[in-house]
Amino acid sequence: MPVQVSAGLSVPAERSRGDQCPIDRTVQLIGSRPALLLLREAFYGARRFDDLARGVGISEAVAAQRLKELVAAGVLEKAPYQEPGQRTRYEYVLTEAGHELLPVVLGLLSWGERHAPGARSSVTASHAGCGAPVEPVLMCAAGHRVAEDEVQVTAERRQSAR
């Protein structure tokens, strides 16, 4: 399913320094603290507005704004639900594209556990099949597990005026 990205909605990607780098584009979409934390809540299983906002600890105004952006970016989707005796409401569920951000979020989690001082994690990610904990790792197309220092990053710099 094609991820439709905002038909001209509020995402401010345009004005900011037009960078053609996908990293920059992704960061502009989900790179702010509230957005990423909302995403974290979504992975935890939160779906309703109040749960999401409270879990992150931000005001409703900010939550509404960020959720709108995440929906526009195709990361979340509004889906109707109805509790017995309640009227129809909308919850926020992760789209396919949203699920694909899990490696990033788990990468942040994993790094934070190892390098950011503080309380231990209260979160675990496990393989639904076998129950073993899950971690993001690097692999090359040939099937090798790749250590961080075995990666060659090459950028075709052509924009560097000067």
Partner DNA sequence: TGGCTGGCTATGGAAATCACAAGTCAGACG
Partner DNA sequence: CGTCTGACTTGTGATTTCCATAGCCAGCCA
Binding site for DNA (CB under 7 A): 12, 15, 17, 32-34, 48-50, 57-62, 64-68, 82, 84-91
Give Cα separations from 15 to 9, 66, 89 (angstroms): 13, 18, 34
Q: Residue 66, Cβ neighbours under 10 Å: how many?
A: 24
Q: Rank residues 69 and 101 by Cβ distance to DNA and give the closer one.
A: 69
Is 134 a residue that touches a second copy (CB under 8 A)? Answer: yes
Q: Which stretch binds a second copy (CB under 8 A): 27-35, 61-69, 83-91?
A: 27-35
Q: Which stretch binds a second copy (CB under 8 A): 52-60, 63-71, 76-84, 85-93?
A: 52-60
Site stretch for a second copy (CB under 8 A), options 34-42, 62-70, 80-88: 34-42
Within residues 70-129, the interface with a second copy by CB under 8 A covers 74, 97, 99-109, 111-119, 121-129
**Burial tier of 51 (Cβ tally within 10 Å: 0-12, 13-18, 19+):** middle
Pairwise CA distance, residues 159 & 13, whole Å: 19
What is the number of other CB atoms lying within 10 angstroms of the CB of residue 78? 13
From the list DNA, a second copy, none, partner contacted by residue 40 (C-beta under 5 to 8 A by kind): a second copy
Q: Which is nearer to a second copy, 88 or 119 (CB)?
A: 119
Return d(Cα 75, Cα 102) in angstroms, integer.
11
Identify which of residues 37 and 88 has a Cβ nearer to a second copy in the complex. Answer: 37
> What gap in Å lies between CA 108 and CA 115, rounded to an integer?
10
Shortest Cβ 85–DNA spacing (Å): 2
Nearer to DNA, 14 or 149 (CB): 14
3-state DSSP call for residue 92? strand
